[in-house]
Structure 1
Amino acid sequence: TVYISPALRQKQTSSDNNSMIELKLCLQSQLNRLNKKNSSSISIEIESIYRSQSRSTMNSCLYQLCHDSLLSSLSSTDQKVESYLLENFLQIFIQHINDEVSNKINDNLFIFISYIYAFYMTNGKIIFDIARYLLNIDQLNEKRLELILLLLKAIGFVIHRDDPLQLKTFLQELRTKCSSSTLLISSSKCLEFMTDTIKSLKNNDVRELSVKDKTLDKTNILNVGLQDFLNVKEQERWWIVGSA
């Protein structure tokens, strides 16, 4: 094996980086011009670049450019997409809030809304608003308790990390409601699971995110509560510019 000095290795790395930048610029210029009419000629150009570069390098460059373009287009929609999703999902959720049959409509909706929060598309206000709505709308029944536990199981560890005090307060409210509800059977599996879940959250014995993902953009977090979405006809969508 030939010894390469650190200075020479650094020079080679710098040269490789410059080559990668040039390749990206070349590919980006082709992608920027891409439309329905010239797609064939652009494909030929990219194919010719493939012949002059290593396949691995080309694949890496194309992936990065397409990935960056996708994220850029999604972020440019600002808060309109997640706001529209939340508004419509919440309307369906409320329609089925009193369903006592074991259907999966609200289960799936609540899981989806939970992960919208987990990926910092909205803040914790909407999550706690929904959870307290389930808790206080009437006497707590087994179906609504199942939904609350579904939330805690899905993103309890995220809430514990982001707002432990708010979570602690909610868990106290939950235990009080459970003990006062006549619709819950004391031997219910839901109550057993709830006890185990609360213990886990108190002991921090949950799947943790040791380091927050710094790639998640937290500047466009939707700061809207449940009642804001439910009262859009009276109050308009104040959180979206030009929606009135």
Structure 2
Amino acid sequence: MEINLPMPAVSASVSCMDLGHMHAHIKAVENSSVSFFHYDVVDGKFNKCYILGDLLCQYIKNNTKLPVEVHLAVYDIEPYIEVFADKGADYIAVHYEAMKKPHEIFAKIRARGMQPVLAYKADTAPKEDFSELAGQCAWVLKLTVNPGFSGQKIKQESIEHIKTMHDMLKNAGLDTRIQADGNVNKETIKMLAQAGATIFTGGTSGLFLKEGSIQQNIEKLLAPIQLETMQG
């Protein structure tokens, strides 16, 4: 399922949702202006934790019309492509750090009817091949924290990486968008947007706040950059 993302766009981090009341939470997300679900899979090696297996992905796909982006924070990518294709994933985010032959990985993702997303760790700067690889993907996923643990603070070097990515894409004449993932909230979103991000993964600090509905939280989250756009 390919989607035309709004500007800006928000995705919902499944690992930050209430897993004990999943059906209700899926519907709450679906009834908001969230564009897609962001589904983290961590293998215990890429980062020292394990989160979200394949069965929950199937459950989400069975209960929503929104697309699902599976973020593979794993080193052995290929077996996961088959698994999550069978579970209905629409986008597969694969890490630059884990790919020896990215073009082959992208081709295998497309062969299963999904779109590849190019992902980078918080501490990985874009290399010379960034623009060429990014141009083959739906968008770029840039982590601003380490995957798998909620409540972390943004790593400042990741902001500089987003700026560099944005400039490299612009210089290459590409309109590939950048997704920022980690500690996205109303205090940090302006900094991320100014660096060049236009897709924002919402989690515990910005989207799933108990004091408001998901839609109210989205509106508060995006207010700083929408106000800046109107003023600019």
TM-score of the aligned structures, taking structure 1 as reference length: 0.27
TM-score of the aligned structures, taking structure 2 as reference length: 0.29
Q: When you count helix as a share of all residues, which structure comes out higher? A: 1
Structure 1 or 2, whichever has the larger Rg, is 1
Structure with higher RCO (Cα < 8 A, 6+ apart): 1
